[in-house]
Amino acid sequence: MNNKIPFMKKLFILLSVAVLGAFIVPQKPSLPGTISVDGKLFTSLYQQHAAEYKALCFQAYNIARLRVDASLQSSSTKTSAVITDIDETVLDNSPFAAHQALQGKEFEFAAWLDWTSKALCDTLPGALTFFKYAASKKIEVFYVTNRDEKEREATLKNLQKYGFPNADNNHLILKQGTSSKEARRQTIAATHNIVLFLGDNLSDFSGLFDKKNMSERLTETKQVAAEFGNKFIVLPNPDYGDWEGALYQYNYKLSAAQKDSVIKSNLKSY
């Protein structure tokens, strides 16, 4: 009888392990993270929670207000206007960047359309106050963006939700075949006196910066240095932009691993 007890205990243990094993779902090995994807988590965190980020936005819009006031001292036969970008200049898309990165994904156009269709973007600190102020001074606001025509309705809904001035079809200028905004800016300038440009990407200000490599972008920036804080107001965007595209020579088909290699090769260290 004593010899049977250890055997029964062993049998019970073996059966228990077998039953438990049947309910354990094998886990797929996790893929190693990449800078080009995981980096968006850190930049999104900065955009969403850093007081310094908000301070930079307030600083940009405070300077913009001063420039608007200065423009009122001069006269023009044309109606005064400001031209502004939308994404990361007026509206905050950091939740989209975080959403993609948490899934281990890079930018996807279909996912972007799904995000913007929700019209859930918050505003950048200082943006609404500034544009309402500009409108109160009889200055028209033109929203020149590279959002797609498919996004028109939702974009207007998002802007109108907060009461942005001139949030209508006549003042929302979407992408028209090319990502360059130069022709669209020139069309507005033909009928308006442009007193200010606002954006998070250098191409929001001048065709001078369109699709330039890293060295050219730095050179052109130095050449027009006096315009920054004067006629060009830059909003911070560590998450994406031509600064990143220039690293990859605008070849967005590179794999995440290839992008990581480019990123590391361009870092200064010691």
| All structural domains of the chain with their residue ranges | 33-265
Q: What is the pLDDT of residues 65-91, one digit of tens each?
A: 999 999 999 989 999 999 999 999 999
Q: Which residues contact 164 (CB under 8 A, 6 or more apart)?
A: 90, 128, 131, 132, 141
Q: What is the pLDDT of residues 148-206, one digit of tens each?
A: 999 999 999 999 999 999 999 999 999 989 999 999 999 999 999 999 999 999 999 99
Backbone angles phi, psi at 141, to 5 degrees: -115, 125
pTM: 0.88
What is the domain class of 33-265 according to CATH? alpha beta
Of 228, 204, 209, 210, nearest to 219 (Cα)? Answer: 209
